[in-house]
Amino acid sequence: MWIGGCSLCCFLKSTIISFVLLTLSIMQTVSADPWEITRSSIKLGRRLGEGFFGVVYQGLYNNTPVAVKTLRHGTMDPRDFLKEAQIMKTMEHPNLIQLLAVCTEEPIYIITELMKNGSLLDYLKVRVGRLHLNDQIEMAAQVASGMAYLEMKKYIHRDLAARNVLVGENNVYKVADFGLARVLQAPPNQTNLYYIPVGKAIFPLRWTAPEAIANEKFTIKCDVWSFGILLYEIMTFGEMPYPDMNNSQVKQRVPNGYRMPRPVDPYCSQDMYKIMLDCWNGNKNDRPTFEALKMSLRNVRG
């Protein structure tokens, strides 16, 4: 009788233990992030280039060629990045670079689709005078399409510029690095051609709307301002915005109403310049939506 009691007790004990183990393993499976991958599952290949925050490599993931963005230590808090990556993963559009996987242990790896022709900025620079207005409108319209999707999803890019648009095969243009700017931290005492520290954050000064510099608050309307600067880059084949001004002149004059003049060489049509000026409206609420920009770009004449 006693022996029977013991075996019942042992049976119950082992059943409970198995149940707990099973529950734990189910919980682990549910909570494991399917986007998080081990570093060993990525084979790094040739170096594609270097951004402010680290080197970008070509890589192989599941036998598929990918781009691997590696972030230098200290460029962001891995926990902030992980939170932001959860949102980035939900963004899917033919004109947005698709996030494929992440490695959130430092050095952080961001694995995305590979774009054969690199950044739009470099693409433009080597094609000075070799593109037609229709090609330029096509680039702008595809970027506006990707941005209209972010707008609809109530998401903000914060660093829209030709260097962050990538060019694929068959004239496909995709917006990269959306959301990243929010979690990036300024490396101490480091600035470069594009980014300057403002408080704890860093800003791409020449692409940033004056109200965002003033109050460090970003909205989709700041992205619209940056889109106007991107149009300027497209029309000038990658010229640096405000070419004759230094950073402090930009910081001081733009909030006081200064706007870049219409590019004349290379030529920029009045229609296109009008769209730029609309994006640079001092009152952010009077700037167009990306949805409206898509339409306006269809009607641009040379």
Question: Residue 144 in contact with residue 297, Cβ under 8 Å?
Answer: yes
Q: Which residues contact 295 (CB under 8 A, 6 or more apart)?
A: none
Query: What's the min distance (Å) between Cβ of 69 and ligand ACK?
Result: 6
Q: Which residue is nearest to ligand ACK (CB)?
A: 49
Using the rule CB under 6 A, is 72 a contact of ligand ACK? no
Q: Hey, which residues between 50 and 69 contact ligand ACK (CB under 6 A)?
A: 50-51, 56, 67
163 is in an annotated binding site: yes
Instruction: Name which of 56 and 147 has its Cβ closer to ligand ACK.
Output: 56
Active-site residue (options: 33, 122, 135, 159)? 159
Q: Is 110 helix (H, G, I), strand (E, B) or coil?
A: strand
The pair of three-digit structure tokens given for residue 205, joined into one six-digit string: 């000064």
Site string for ligand ACK, 95-134 (x = CB under 6 A): --x--------------x-xx--xx--x------------
DSSP-assigned letter for residue 101: E
Point out which span in 42-50, 84-92, 99-107, 124-132 binds ligand ACK (CB under 6 A).
42-50
104 Cβ neighbours under 8 A, 6+ residues apart? 36, 78, 81, 82, 85
Q: Which residues of 238-269 are buried (b: 16+ CB within 10 A; e: fewer)?
A: bbebbeebeeeebbeebeeeeebebbeeeebb
Query: Is residue 177 a known part of a binding site?
Result: yes
Counting Cα atoms < 13 Å in the Cβ hemisphere of 202 gives: 21
Tell which one of 37, 42, 48, 147 touches ligand ACK (CB under 6 A).
48
- DSSP 8-state code for residue 186: P
Residue 111 CB, shortest distance to ligand ACK, in Å, is 9
The question of whether 159 is a catalytic residue gets the answer yes
Question: Which residues make up each annotated binding site?
Answer: 69, 163-164, 177
Question: Which residues make up each annotated binding site for ATP?
Answer: 69, 163
Where on the chain is the footprint of ligand ACK (CB under 6 A)? Answer: 48-51, 56, 67, 97, 112, 114-115, 118-119, 122, 166, 176
* Active site members: 159
